[in-house]
Amino acid sequence: MKEHILNLETSAIIEAIKAGSEKILFQLYEAYRNEFLQWAVRNHRVTEEEAKDVFQEALVGLYRNVKAGKVDKLESSIKTYLFGIAKNVILNVLKRKDIETKAYENISIEHDNGINEKHEMDGLTNLIKRLYLAIGSPCKEILEMYYEREYDMESIALKVGYKNANVAKKKKYECLKALEERIKMSPLAKEYF
Amino acid sequence: MRESDLIDRYLKGELDGETITAIESKIDSNPSFKAKVELRRLLIRSIHLAYEDELKDKLKDLDRKIDRNSNPIKISYMVAASLAFVMVTALGVYLYQANNKSKFEKYDVYENGIPNTMGTSNDLTFTVAMNYFKSKEYPEALKLFQGIIQSDTVLYYSGVSAYRIGNLDRAIHCFQSIEEGSEYFTKAAYRLGLTYWKENQIDLAIPVLIKVTQDTSSEYGTNAKLILTKEF
């Protein structure tokens, strides 16, 4: 499996991830996991479990950057890029550990409206995420296929078993409307929408 | 093109310059349109985040599989220990549940469902689900309820179905989603309290049941008071 990934061109790997292949992400994970864990545990103050978490986060970060078109013209290998993300994640983990330790030593009672606002937006995003996950089948699948995997309506109709793209489009519209109504009904969202 | 589709295409970057300028000017001048675009932007972001969570869970599963394959001996000990633990726990849970069964049944207010209506295909699915509910075929009812738009009615009956088949996490999620002001609020809150109690989460059950006691006109209020005074 490792050889299989190493034989692929970086651009081919990126295209596969962009097209929504989870399999390629899993192959990358398997191919480079052990090497990363050994390096992380040896060179940083992290446990193996923390290193695993970091590497999983890095894979998700790679997926996010590929989808956002940030790695279209990658000049290094995919492994170098992946380890680069992982290194950043690990540094953030270490920084967070330090901050958590120091937080109890330097307690500030000043209010920061910027932080409060961010906290509220995070709360709103979490609420929307929960309502989206609760909307059930087939709405969740349709919205995921449209917004995350970027399928066209013909493909969605085929996957869900609808007669044609128009039926899928109508269903997507109904799902969105229902979900947005539920979001607007929530007290937290009322002041925004 | 529908306004909803236009917003999608704008956020996906699929529109030409002229249309983008027109949309952005509408965003600046029309607060209601601006709110719609913002809501859709947040919704899309939430879908991305939900997918990333799922992806991370899948990577965790893969990791466990890799560990299992590389440590078969260690794992077989772990499996044996886990099995023993599961059996002991299951026996404990069985004895606990047998002891408490009649208690929970006593407070599980009878729910006979609502009359059938005919109309759109969504209504038709609801009717079939409700028929399953009435004939106490709760797994089938729950499966169908999950496939239709989640109104308070659907959430409530999904919750009751989930509770009856022991899917307590699902039941909690459904009852929690019904907000104050809904006609189902009191009975959903009562059943939420009952479900927390069944899960032995008394600290969560108490505040929910106290709220239900404020409704003195229904048997839910009376039962909530009885649970609080006699059972906890």
> Is the CB of residue A167 less than 8 Å away from at least one CB of chain B?
no
Q: Label residue A129 by pLDDT band (50, 70, 90).
A: very high
Q: Label residue A104 by pLDDT band (50, 70, 90).
A: low
What's the pLDDT score for residue B99? 58
CA distance B218 to B104: 19
Give the residue on A whose Cα is nearest the Cα of B37: A193
By CB neighbour count within 10 A (0-12 exposed, 13-18 middle, 19+ buried), where does B104 fall? middle
CA distance B153 to B95: 34
Percentage of residues of chain A with pLDDT beyond 90: 49
Check: CB of residue A122 under 8 Å from CB of residue A130. Answer: no
Q: What is the average pLDDT score of chain B?
A: 85
Retrieve residue B179's tokens. 């907000």
List Cβ<8 Å contacts ≥24 apart for A149-157: A149/A20, A150/A20
Retrieve residue B80's tokens. 């044996």
Which chain B positions have a beta carbon within 8 Å of A183's beta carbon?
A: 39, 43
What's the pLDDT score for residue A30? 94
Q: Label residue B32 by pLDDT band (50, 70, 90).
A: very high
For residue A46, give the 3-state DSSP assignment: coil
For residue B217, give the 3-state DSSP assignment: coil
Of B2-11, B20-29, B143-152, B167-176, the range with the lowest mean pLDDT is B143-152
Mean pLDDT throughout B150-179? 91
What's the pLDDT score for residue B176? 92
For the stretch B189-222, pLDDT in tens is 999 999 999 888 887 888 889 889 888 788 898 8
What's the pLDDT score for residue B125? 80
Which chain B positions have a beta carbon within 8 Å of A133's beta carbon?
A: 50
Q: Contact B66/A30, CB-based, under 8 Å?
A: yes
Q: Contact B59/A25, CB-based, under 8 Å?
A: yes
> Is the CB of residue B14 less than 8 Å away from at least one CB of chain A?
no
Which chain A positions have a beta carbon within 8 Å of B52's beta carbon?
A: 60, 63-64
Give the residue on A whose Cα is nearest the Cα of B8: A147
Of residues A40, A46, A81, the one with CA closest to residue A64? A81
Phi, psi of A164 (to 5 degrees): -155, 180
> Is the CB of residue A125 less than 8 Å away from at least one CB of chain B?
yes
The phi-psi region of residue B201 (left if phi > 0; otherwise alpha if psi is between -120 and 50; otherwise beta) is: beta
What's the pLDDT score for residue B115? 79
Q: Is pLDDT of A3 > 50?
A: no
Q: Contact A183/B2, CB-based, under 8 Å?
A: no
> Is the CB of residue A22 less than 8 Å away from at least one CB of chain B?
yes
Q: How many angstroms away from the CA of B69 is the closest CA of chain A?
A: 12
For the stretch B69-111, pLDDT in tens is 876 655 566 667 777 777 777 776 666 655 555 678 888 888 8
Mean pLDDT throughout A35-42? 94
Q: What is the average pLDDT score of chain A?
A: 85
Comparing CB atoms, the residue among A60, A184, A193 nearest residue B56 is A60
Q: Label residue A180 by pLDDT band (50, 70, 90).
A: very high
Q: Contact A137/B146, CB-based, under 8 Å?
A: yes
Percentage of residues of chain B with pLDDT beyond 70: 88
Q: Is pLDDT of A18 > 80?
A: yes
CA distance B161 to B154: 10
Helix locations, chain A, DSSP H? 2-6, 10-18, 22-43, 48-67, 78-103, 113-134, 139-143, 153-160, 165-185, 187-190
Q: How many angstroms away from the CA of B220 is the closest CA of chain A?
A: 25
Give the residue on A whose Cα is nearest the Cα of B62: A26
Total beta-carbon pairs less than 8 A apart between chain A and chain B: 99
Mean pLDDT throughout A180-188? 87
What's the pLDDT score for residue A64? 94
Its sign, for the CA torsion B101, B104, B106, B112, is negative
Per-residue three-class SS string for A14-40? HHHHHCCCHHHHHHHHHHHHHHHHHHH
Check: CB of residue B159 under 8 Å from CB of residue B175. Answer: yes
Q: Is pLDDT of A4 > 60?
A: no
For the stretch A46-60, pLDDT in tens is 899 999 999 999 999
